[in-house]
Amino acid sequence: YMLVDLRDSQQYEKNHIKTAENIAIQQLLAPTTLEELSSDKRIILYSDQASQTEKVYIALKQAGLNPYVLEGGFRHWHNRYLNPAAPSADASEAEIQDYKTRMALKNYFEGKGHAAGTNMNLPQKTIRTPVRRPKKKKKKLGGC
């Protein structure tokens, strides 16, 4: 993947996702840059302005690329994934699992591997036994 921070350089220097590249929108949409972008990488865009990110997304789609948008922008990801609060001592199993998932994403985007240091156990796909329902009896139709 290629993580692209669309915010200005001052915001980027203040805080960003460690594996992100800060590329100005004008530079990103320049014909020479569009030619250099590889269509085999997933391009993930983020900013703090949804309208700005959407415009770049549309422009990249029109250029034949397949971009993605980081849901919620940088602030949402910073608060939820890059700086997750540890669960309380009386947290439920679901809350603990949610925290482990957020830590795994943090490690991944910081270049530390998939789930380094999180002991992440992703929930296994539940296999459900089909419910057997009694067959409906067909109504006998009377003759003419």
Return d(Cα 108, Cα 17) in angstroms, integer: 10
Q: How far apart are CA 35 and CA 20, in angstroms?
A: 20
- Which pair of tokens denotes residue 76? 């949402």
**Mind listing the pLDDT tens digit for each residue in 97-110?**
989 988 888 888 77
Provide the residue type at 77 as one letter. Answer: W
Is 3's pLDDT higher than 70? Answer: yes
| pTM, rounded to two decimals | 0.63
Lowest mean pLDDT among 9-23, 77-91, 109-123: 109-123
Structure tokens at 116: 């380094």
Give buried/exposed letters for 2-25 (b at 16+ CB in 10 A, else e). Answer: ebbbbbeeeebeeebbeebeebeb
Taking a C-beta distance cutoff of 8 angstroms, is the pair 83, 25 a contact? no
Looking at residue 77, what is its pLDDT?
Answer: 82
Q: How far is the C-alpha of 59 from the C-alpha of 142, rounded, in Å? A: 66
- Give the end-to-end CA distance of the chain in Å, rounded to a whole number: 70
Percent of the chain with pLDDT over 90: 26
